[in-house]
Amino acid sequence: MERKNKTTGKVAGIIANLVIVEVDGPVAQNEICFISHPENKLMAEVIKILGKNVYVQVFESTRGLKVGTPVEFEGHLLEVSLGPGILSRNYDGLQNDLDKMDGVFLKRGDYTDPLDREKKWDWTPIAKEGDQVVAGSWLGEVPENSVPHRIMVPFKFQGTYTIKSIVAAGQYTVDDVVAVVTDREGNDIELTMVQKWPVKMAVKAYKEKPRPFKLLQTGTRTLDTLNPITEGGTGFIPGPFGTGKTVLQHAISKFADADIVIIAACGERANEVVEIFTEFPELEDPKTGRSLIERTTIIANTSNMPVAAREASVYTAMTLGEYYRSMGLKVVLMADSTSRWAQALREMSNRLEELPGPDAFPMDLTAIITSFYARAGFVYLNNGESGSITFIGTVSPAGGNLKEPVTESTRKAARCFYGLNQGRADSKRYPAIDPIDSYSKYLEYPEVQEYLKENIGENWLDNVLKTKTLLLRGKEAQEQINILGDDGVPLEFHEKFWNSELIDAVILQQDSFDKIDANCPMPRQKYMLEKVLEITDKKFKFETFEEVNGFFKRIINQLKQINYSEWESEKFKTHEKELEEIMNERLN
């Protein structure tokens, strides 16, 4: 895309933040340009080309912009800078460092460097002179907080290169030359710790991208036990406002078995983003005991920022995730909320006067969402190491309508569906994930089934299916009891209902304020599920439904105490003995 002379143009029309530019030369889709606003230069991206008329979406307010204003095209696509110093940063959708910006409100046309150019990093070489390398090969590493940050051959390189020289261990800035490589024509190319990559192009610097098969432990029982997501898997959390989407994402961010956490607040309300900024630096990382923010990057675009920047934020977040995946790291990427990203797409589509789809969303909404979700995944790198991006987005359907276009399009792209239920949220059942409507398609994969059998237990899948059946039978029994009354159904209906309530209270619900119950490792999840299913298999003696109710409430209370006790501690074992005593009272 390199051109000798920059293409220029003039503003020919303005529709909010969509600007029509008449150009005097070639331009490319997604190319960046700057509009010479009277106050400062405004950054924009090409989204449609019609002959000499080019439509660009401006990442700022266009107030005061006039027809005839000069425009200069940069000759490169919308891109991010990749290098040490990305972690612990708060960026906007264009990778501007928000902490470097002045004032409460962001100034129009104020762009900042995403990296610290002055800081010196402790460089250790990995490759050596004479090595043959390709795009994504590791040259060396620097410690970034608690993470080994690998410096790689730029992703844009094609073919094989030979390392001519590489600097010795020592301290260097990101702009210092750390290696010189020679291409097939004999040309020498100097490499620094920084590279740039277009955000809307997937990074493919890996050897193989198989179907994900390893279970990603999130510490949340209702996810890991009933509907697990894999390392490199995709999932989404739809639900009405106030059902706990953001809270659940924060819990996964904190406890998931991942090396890197990236949060894309792509259009959330400002107060929710402020909570992320203020809470994350205070959270302790359960893996390292240090601050969670040390392995976290936040991309923030609140709902009152321009729609174009809101759209860019999800792509920026995914590109940063692909960069860390290429280092052989496990990345968890959270997007909250992709509904507002879709709304940004709708606004621009309407301004372009494109043919509208359902609810005026773009006709190709499903294709856009699917291609974005496809960038997540588990990969094997060229050196045999593996890395992954696990992507979980939230969807905020208007009025809680899960049949609206964004939810339906996302359902086709994501493999895990974690539907939040308003009734469960109102009754303070956290997480409010509907256990019957939610699903994980990864349970259908033979490689995932094999992994679960080998690493968790031979009967694990059978127990999961049995649990889901008990929950369904309990719901049916509850409906009968509600219609016919407590006295109008046989005792077995009450037992079915309480078996499902037992699973709900002990397995599905979790106390995020309790130090122990907030994070439940897989060995403990396996033990608790087997214990609960063991109880549901037993035959107890009852004469009235009041006896059923009272007995199961005692059982639930005892199992909850086990959830709150340290694993296999004296307190834990005491509650186990008390549980056995309660059950023995009514065993046949």
390 is in an annotated binding site: no
Residue 370, annotated as binding a ligand: no
Alpha-carbon Rg for the chain in angstroms: 27
- The whole-model pTM stands at 0.95
Task: State the distance between the two ends of the chain, measured CA to CA, in whole angstroms.
Answer: 79
Is 574 within any annotated ligand binding site? no
What local confidence, expressed as pLDDT, does residue 374 receive?
97
pLDDT of residue 99: 86
Could you tell me the fold of the domain covering 8-77?
Thrombin, subunit H (2.40.10)
Contact 313, 264 (CB under 8 A): yes
Give the CA distances from residue 120 to residues 89, 125, 174, 179, in Å, rounded to whole numbers and listed in that order.
17, 15, 7, 16
The per-residue pLDDT for 302 is 66
Residue 14 to residue 61: CA distance in whole angstroms: 11
**DSSP code of 336?**
S
Sequence letter at residue 496: K
C-alpha to C-alpha distance for 369 and 378, rounded to whole angstroms: 19
What is the number of other CB atoms lying within 10 angstroms of the CB of residue 190?
A: 12
Q: Are 200 and 374 in contact (CB under 8 A)?
A: no
Is CATH 1.10.1140.10 the right assignment for the domain spanning 460-584?
yes
Token pair of 77, please?
Answer: 């696509």
Tokens 């510490």 found at:
219
Domain 221-442 classified CATH 3.40.50.300?
yes
Picking from 53, 83, 96, 88, the residue whose alpha carbon sits closest to that of residue 71 is 53
Tokens coding 539: 């035959």
pLDDT at residue 291, as a whole number = 86
238 is in an annotated binding site: no
pLDDT at 123: 97
Q: What is the pLDDT of residue 331?
A: 98
pLDDT in tens, the chain (588 residues): 566 788 999 999 999 889 999 999 999 999 999 999 887 899 999 999 999 999 999 988 888 999 999 999 999 999 999 999 999 999 988 999 988 887 767 778 888 999 999 999 999 999 999 999 999 999 999 999 989 999 999 999 999 999 999 999 999 999 999 999 999 999 999 999 999 999 999 999 999 999 999 999 999 999 999 999 999 999 999 998 889 888 898 889 889 999 999 999 887 666 667 777 777 777 888 877 888 889 999 998 866 667 777 788 999 999 999 999 999 999 999 998 899 899 889 989 999 999 999 999 999 999 999 999 999 999 999 999 999 999 999 998 888 888 999 999 999 999 999 999 999 999 999 999 999 999 999 999 999 999 999 999 999 999 999 999 999 999 999 999 999 999 999 999 999 999 999 999 999 999 988 999 999 999 999 999 999 999 999 999 999 999 999 999 999 999 999 999 999 999 999 999 999 999 999 886
Nearest to 253 by CA among 512, 15, 505: 512
Tokens found for residue 233 = 């898997």
Domain 121-198 has CATH 1.10.10.10: no
- Distance, in Å, from the CA atom of 28 to the CA atom of 6, rounded to the nearest integer, reads 12
The pair of three-digit structure tokens given for residue 96, joined into one six-digit string: 């501007």
At 522, list the tokens. 């897989």
What residue segments make up the domains of the chain, in order of their start?
8-77, 121-198, 221-442, 460-584
- pLDDT score at 315: 95
Could you tell me which residues come within 8 angstroms of residue 246 by beta carbon, excluding any fewer than 6 positions away?
268, 272, 336, 394
The rounded distance, in Å, linking the Cα atoms of 231 and 523 is 18
How many angstroms separate the CA atoms of 260 and 504, rounded? 31
Residue 403 in marked binding region: no
Neighbours of 251 (CB within 10 A): 21
DSSP for residue 223: I
The sheet carrying 121-125 orders its strands as: 147-152, 138-144, 121-125, 170-172
The residue type found at 30 is N
Find the angle CA(86)-CA(307)-CA(19) to the nearest 5 degrees. 115
| 389, two tokens | 């991006």
| Angle at CA of residue 191, ends 118 and 333, nearest 5° | 75
pLDDT of residue 301: 80
